[in-house]
Structure 1
């Protein structure tokens, strides 16, 4: 089976020579396929449905149109591999379509988040090995600062400089923002920094680059399973949602939260007020003595 770069090059060459695809289309497919390959650590061509589903989970915050385009690129890419006899199946066909509208963000309760961190601390107390030290830093930054998965895994090594209680993060649109860090997060990052070579470009290095979003997804789900939380209920993005929802529940200002999350439009941040409202309504329905009366 050819490597990802070779397979992608063959596919794009077919689009141009046999299908007469427009330059913009070829360029978009190149970006999507090379990005997917990077997220799967060069294993796109050989990936199965499970890997592709985790890949799409990492694209949860993208616009529906962007996700649809990426899905189309993957389906056509794998269809090409099947037609060329490189693969016998098209795993992208099993990926569900984009649902219309924007559902309310999925989140976790404060008790569930506490359980995640209590489990992680127990594991660290038993054996503070490098993977667990790294996971502690990842979790503290996901939930403690509400970082996007891409922002987190690609953090430069010098983005956080203890004891300075903040980080400079480059988010969507190449915009920088300042992220406050809790003392617990700082300690976790200090422990991670002690394990990262000084010449490393990234805080969470992996191979020649940084930790992939797909691998981050696996790590978070693995911890959830150990904590007794259904893995399908959690992802890095769910922890970002939990950060925002719990901040609002504790009285955070909506504009301040918009800045922390790096949202260009406050309407995106306002979705979390609907999550909290829905939770309050559910609480009243479940606990109020008159809730079941007609």
Structure 2
């Protein structure tokens, strides 16, 4: 079973050209599924029926897996069994009898402006690492970049004389994002000082570097943000994506229209952007409840 999974992942990479992160996600889902099937003494995908899959989904639920995780798993399995059918590895597709769970309504955590200010001030900017980290936080909040876009940002993508950053988002979709003066000033300070110290006479096309002069990793950015959130005394579940959510919510609350936010975030479908109207409405209700004398 594991060999067939590896063949499928190789097919996705070579034939379909999917990204490393997508393939990594598929590998995790399918490897865990194979392990679960072997524990049930199911050693071939030919022997997997809809009941085995439904039981596995129920087990995921009992283990506390989120609805969105289960939805992603079902999607992965659906595509995988389609592949097995296409290449005549199985004769019947058990996924034809499995419904995808409905997506639960979940509003992401958003930082208040005050919380963002506190977070941005946490890095110690008296050293090269603190200046780099402060710049990372400023750029994430000022542009709404995904963390994958941030770590892949290259010097050639910076057009600071025009207050713009160029980035490649999901689906290799290119977009141009404005960057404000504050974030731009931190970028200039980092590029002309800390980055040169991190390079140590080496070269790199990437903007944000680790202690060895190489490209900083997604995990490293995630860990640094968690640490600064803790130092700031913020109790919310904050990830790099939280700064993207906060960026979108704050500009929407200050008068930006939904189409503009869609362009800034690089969403191909405006329905993805519409979640931020729900966040804004929720926060408006909170403000109303807090300040109206008869709320």
Shorter-chain TM-score: what band? 0.5 to 0.7
SS of structure 2 residue aligned to 1:119? coil
Instruction: State the match for 1:83 in structure 2.
Output: none
Please give the residue correspondences for 1:264-283 in structure 2 after superposition, counting only pairs within 5 Å.
264-283=268-287
TM-score (norm: length of structure 1): 0.67
Deviation per residue, 1:137-171 (Å, 9 max, x gap): 11111101100010001101221143331111111
What stretches of structure 2 of length at least 5 have no aligned partner? Answer: 38-59, 69-102
Instruction: State the match for 1:72 in structure 2.
Output: 29
Instruction: State the match for 2:175 in structure 1.
Output: 177
Compute the displacement of 1:290 (Å): 2.5
Q: CA separation in 2, counterparts of 1:234 and 1:21?
A: 34
Tell me which of 20, 23, 40 is aligned to 2:7.
Answer: 23
CA gap of 1:73–1:214, structure 2 versus 1, over 3 A, is farther
Compute the displacement of 1:185 (Å): 1.2
Instruction: State the match for 1:289 in structure 2.
Output: 293
What stretches of structure 1 of length at least 5 have no aligned partner? Answer: 1-13, 37-61, 81-92
Q: CA separation in 2, counterparts of 1:95 and 1:35?
A: 27
CA gap of 1:35–1:209, structure 2 versus 1, over 3 A, is farther
CA contact 2:2–2:34 (8 Å) conserved in 1? no
Matched, 1:223 2:228: yes
Matched, 1:247 2:251: yes
Compute the displacement of 1:177 (Å): 0.8
Instruction: State the match for 1:109 in structure 2.
Output: 112
CA contact 2:149–2:168 (8 Å) conserved in 1? yes
Deviates more, 1:282-291 or 1:136-145: 282-291
Compute the displacement of 1:70 (Å): 5.3
Q: CA separation in 1, counterparts of 2:6 and 2:31?
A: 18
SS of structure 2 residue aligned to 1:163? helix
CA contact 1:224–1:234 (8 Å) conserved in 2? yes
Compute the displacement of 1:249 (Å): 0.6
Deviation per residue, 1:42-98 (Å, 9 max, x gap): xxxxxxxxxxxxxxxxxxxx9xxx997454145358889xxxxxxxxxxxx978344
Q: CA separation in 2, counterparts of 1:258 and 1:148?
A: 14
Compute the displacement of 1:287 (Å): 3.1
Q: CA separation in 2, counterparts of 1:78 and 1:214?
A: 26
Q: CA separation in 1, counterparts of 2:31 and 2:221?
A: 21
Please give the residue correspondences for 1:37-186 in structure 2 after superposition, counting only pairs within 5 Å.
69=26, 71-73=28-30, 75=32, 96-99=65-68, 100-120=103-123, 123-124=124-125, 127=126, 129-186=127-184
Instruction: State the match for 2:264 in structure 1.
Output: 260
CA gap of 1:266–1:164, structure 2 versus 1, over 3 A, is same
CA gap of 1:70–1:104, structure 2 versus 1, over 3 A, is farther
Q: CA separation in 1, counterparts of 2:282 and 2:147?
A: 26
CA contact 1:29–1:70 (8 Å) conserved in 2? no
Q: CA separation in 2, counterparts of 1:247 and 1:74?
A: 41
CA contact 1:68–1:98 (8 Å) conserved in 2? no
Q: CA separation in 2, counterparts of 1:158 and 1:174?
A: 17
Count matched residues. Answer: 228
Compute the displacement of 1:222 (Å): 1.1
Larger radius of gyration: 2
Q: Which runs of 4+ in 1 moved over 6 A?
A: 77-80
Higher relative contact order (CA 8 A, sep 6+): 1
